[in-house]
Structure 1
Amino acid sequence: MEKQFLQHHLHMNRRRFLTKLGIGIGSAALGSLLIPDLFSSGNREEALLQHLPHFAPKAKRIIYLFQNGAPSQLELFDYKPMLREKFGQDLPASIRMGQRLTGMTADQKKFPLAGSLFNFSQYGQSRAWISELLPHTSGVVDDLCIIKSMYTEAINHDPALTFFQTGAQVGNRPSMGSWLSYGLGSENQNLPAFCVLLSKGKGNGQGVYSKLWTNGFLDSIHQGVQFSSGENPVLYLNNPESIDKADRRKMLDQLEGLNEENYKDFGDPEIHTKIQQYEMAYRMQTAVPEVTDLSKEPESIIKLYGADCLTPGTFAANCLLARKLSENGVRFVQLYHQGWDSHGDLPNQIKGQCIDTDQASAALITDLKQRGMLDETLVIWGGEFGRTNYCQGTLTKENYGRDHHPRCFTIWMAGGGVKPGVYGETDDFGYNIIKDPVHVHDFHATVLHLMGLNHEELTFKHLGRRYRLTDVAGTVVKDIIKA
């Protein structure tokens, strides 16, 4: 009687208990899959909240094709026939308005206008003007959101490049990829959330450096992992000779025990980060060789990206690898292609750069689209600033160079919830923005919004203040986002 009373009072018997227990285990298993850090030794509340978007995202991942050195918008996207008509005439002071100049043209007494040597045509439903240098890009124009009204304050490469990647012109700030890793985590626990790929073109190159993919003051687990074009894509990942996988597992277990003892003494959270990094490296030993193997790609894909995609370290190979990394759950893939810094001999240098990048950039869009991934993958193409409408140095009908121009330039975005079309407008001289300006902070705010993150809420407290990618500025450009 007493047993029956308890069962009735608690509405619980052995069968009901086991049923509820099974549901609980299933829920815990699901939770650990959705939020892998939920049952880690760290802060459970932080693990639960940190990797959830603030609202429903348009995109799940990003591939950023950064064109390092600043491509000339006047040769590629911003068609200005007036510059041809006024070829060689001095830029009116009323247009320049005393703009700050670089040390390379500050001593010039005249600023002769240089029209592009290349022809433009209109393509797609948007009737966007695209240069003859980009025949493959023109074929995917209906997937592109071409923003012609980007601007920045930085006038030299290092601060401008750092600004685009970290939201500040100085170093030691987390990069975009690190912020996204911090905010959303990784979709694949066997690969980093943030990967970096480098390539170099035929033009004049500007260097890239690790501060561009640094974690800054965030935990080091959020730092970008650079892939190389050599035999070992990730350095120091393979086991030394005479060390097998079982030995490595035993060593890591012993090392984790020592680190846990160290954590008890000092309480430094970076110790747990180091443990995570060791474990990630162990899992990557299997995942990286598989994902970087391009030999199994069908002939149709090789033809789509071009023969260069079979040469490790080329832009084409990196675009194909970026697709594979994204397909395998990498949150942010950052490509840097060097060679766009054309202060002289611009027509010849930009031809080579476009040969290196045009087909593969368009192929990436096509490839993602045919796999059903483009809607959830945001692809970005562009440099750190633009190029002047006047010539730097000697101007001839066949040759010229252009200086840095931060006041207006062009980037494009595709997929990931952006509307195809042309946004923003510059004046007839291609020198000033006359419609819909987009600052770098606005760009960052919009990218985070597409990923389901409020740029004002994604913060990290450091040295007594809360930092964010957009610092204290930035407005989401809602007009380029699909409803």
Structure 2
Amino acid sequence: MNSQPDTTADTLTRRSLIRKMGGGLGTIGLAGALFRNGEAAPVSPHAQPRAKRVIQLFMNGGPFQGDLFDPKPLTAKFAGERPSEVDLRTERKTAGLLPSPFKFSPAGESGVPVSELLPLTAQRIDDICVIRSLHTNNPNHGPALLLMNNGTILPTRPSMGAWMSYGLGTENDSLPPYVVLCPGRPVRFSILWSSGFLPGEHQGTYINHSDPTPDKLIPYLKNTSHSVDEQRRQLELLRELNGLHREQRSSDARLDARIRSMETAFRMQFSATEAFDLERETQSTREAYGEGHFANACLLARRLAERGVLFTQIYYGNGQPWDTHSKHDESTRKLCRDIDRPIAALLTDLKQRGLLEDTLVIWGGEFGRTPTSENGNGRDHNHYGFTMWLAGGGVKGGMTYGETDDFGFRAVHDRVHIHDLHATVLHLLGLDHEKLTYRYAGRDFRLTDVHGRVVKEVTG
């Protein structure tokens, strides 16, 4: 089936400009940024944006909200019992209520309660909006990951980052607009940063940051066979040949995406070496973020934000490290030790550099976990109610929004669906989720499908 971009007047104007410019080194995407005389000129969004870029800290596997940001003291009072509020169907059989052993204390000037597991993050709570009333459609990892990242459980749809790239383009034509940092070789995760039916250049650029050395982060970053001038001549020849090929045929998004990808890859030889080199940071900055793959990813995300990357997505681990069906308390302690320092350092660093006010930071997983026990000290998946938080980028800090029931199982007040979250993120970027559409297979598609509302109560 043939696909077509939307045909609004604004989009047609952009496409006309792109055609006049030849579609070569001077353009990035049909709905992306135009570059005139080497300078980036991003296309205007639907409304005044509060955020210019997004960093997502994705806790794949699903953290338990009752351990971290949503204290429920009644679980201790009714420990081992199974009140009607928690008599809900879950993937696996669970028993009675299992209280969290971790203490909560009011943090910051706002007094938002935060767990003892996150003492450094607690110091930044006045910049954080905790949404306690998220809910999603499916308690299985695969569908829930797809819904959180792609807005649907279907694996053929574009990811949230691809929609952002399509809608806004990039401020820096020497780096990809959408970067995914995930350790290892997560082949089965790749659909989570797919461009789907959008032009291919909007797919997330996957980086294995297990080894933070630039040449190892990005394979084949340097061309050792040809000089820069030789590569440039090759690229110009390919550009001319592809242009002739395109003139003889109707518009082919795959060809256009391939041309732009080659051009970006050429420029990345010079820009990526600098952008991904953590050795350029001071020792004090490296120590502030700590050690480990997640700490390195958070520091890389700050460096990419400084350089105009639109969306940086960080996956904590390869697999589902927060999937604590057994030894939950032990695992959660370790996981929180790993994330607390880097998250606090990232928020502090962004704020000190004047970046937090227009950088939206998102934290959370694909769902939460049950307040009832599984396998003794384990917790099953919980899609009925869980917690995520937002910081910076036009979000009201030092507040909570929404509530779960007395035991933290189901969202009951000011409920926020994943479609609502996506609509809100796009809104903060200046994009109207109902207008950001792409025509494919005879219908208009969007990230939020036919759902979603902007949660304006959390925006500044």
Alignment TM-score, normalising by the size of structure 1: 0.84
Q: How far does residue 258 in structure 1 lie from its aligned partner after superposition?
A: 2.2
**What amino acid is the match of 1:144?**
I
Q: Given residue 209 of structure 1, which amino acid in structure 2 is its aligned partner?
A: F
Aligned equivalent of 1:418: 395
Question: Structure 1 CA distance, aligned partners of 2:454 and 2:347?
Answer: 24
Cα shift readout 1:435-467 (whole Å, capped 9, x = no counterpart)? 211000000000000000100000000000000
Cα RMSD, aligned residues only = 2.3
SS of alignment partner, residue 390 of structure 1: coil
The equivalent of 2:386 in structure 1 is 409
Structural mapping, 1:141-180, within 5 Å: 141-180=125-164
Q: How much has 1:207 moved relative to structure 2?
A: 8.1
Assess if the C-alpha contact under 8 Å between 1:70 and 1:383 holds in 2.
Answer: yes
In 1: Cα distance, 2:30 partner to 2:366 partner: 38
Over 3 Å counting, the alpha-carbon distance change for 1:82 and 1:207 in structure 2 is farther
For residue 386 of structure 1, the aligned residue among 363, 368, 378 is 368
Residues 52 and 183 in structure 1, CA contact (< 8 A), matched pair in contact too: no
Q: Is the 8 A contact 2:183 2:208 kept in 1?
A: no
Are 2:336 and 1:354 equivalent residues in the alignment? yes
Aligned to 1:334: 313
Change in CA separation of 1:222 and 1:207 when aligned onto 2, cut-off 3 Å: closer
Asked if the contact 1:125–1:142 (Cα under 8 Å) also holds between the matched residues in 2, the reply is yes
Which residue type is aligned with residue 225 of structure 2? S
| Cα offsets for 1:297-353 (capped at 9, x unmatched) | 1233122212x1xx5xx0000000000001000000011113111000001111111
Matched to 1:410, the amino acid is T
Question: Number of paired residues?
Answer: 426
Q: Structure 2 residue aligned with 1:455, among 433, 447, 451?
A: 433
CA distance in 1, matches of 2:121, 2:19: 43
Structure 1 unaligned blocks of 5 or more? 1-31, 201-205, 395-399
- 1:40 corresponds to 2:32: no
- After superposition, the Cα gap between the structure-2 partners of 1:38 and 1:71, relative to the gap in structure 1 and judged at 3 Å, is farther
How far apart in 1 are the matches of 2:458 and 2:341? 25
C-alpha displacement of 1:46? 6.1
Q: 1:113 to 1:79 in 2, by over 3 A?
A: same
Does residue 237 of structure 1 match 2:221?
yes
Distance in 2 between residues matched to 1:434 and 1:159, nearest whole Å: 23
Match of 2:71 among 68, 71, 79: 79
1:56 to partner: Cα distance: 0.4
> Could you tell me which of 428, 438, 442 is aligned with 1:464?
442
CA distance in 1, matches of 2:216, 2:18: 29
Give the conservation status (yes or no) of the 8 Å contact 1:38–1:47: no
Largest Rg, 1 or 2? 1
Deviations 1:61-116 (A, max 9, x none): 00000110001111111111111122222x12x3145x3321x32xx6xx211001
- The answer to whether residue 209 in structure 2 is matched with residue 256 in structure 1 is no
1:213 alignment partner, one of 153, 171, 193: 193
Number of the residue aligned with 2:356: 374
Segment drifting more, 45-54 vs 115-124: 45-54
Amino acid at match of 2:269: Q
Letter in 2 for 1:64: Q
Contact kept? 2:58, 2:313, Cα under 8 Å? yes
Please say if residues 38 and 48 of structure 1, whose CA atoms lie closer than 8 Å, have aligned partners that are also in contact.
no
Please identify, of 256-265 and 409-418, the stretch whose mean Cα deviation from structure 2 is larger: 256-265
| Aligned equivalents of 2:285, 2:311: Cα separation in 1 | 22
Q: Normalization by structure 2: what TM-score?
A: 0.88
User: 2:326 maps to which residue?
Assistant: 344
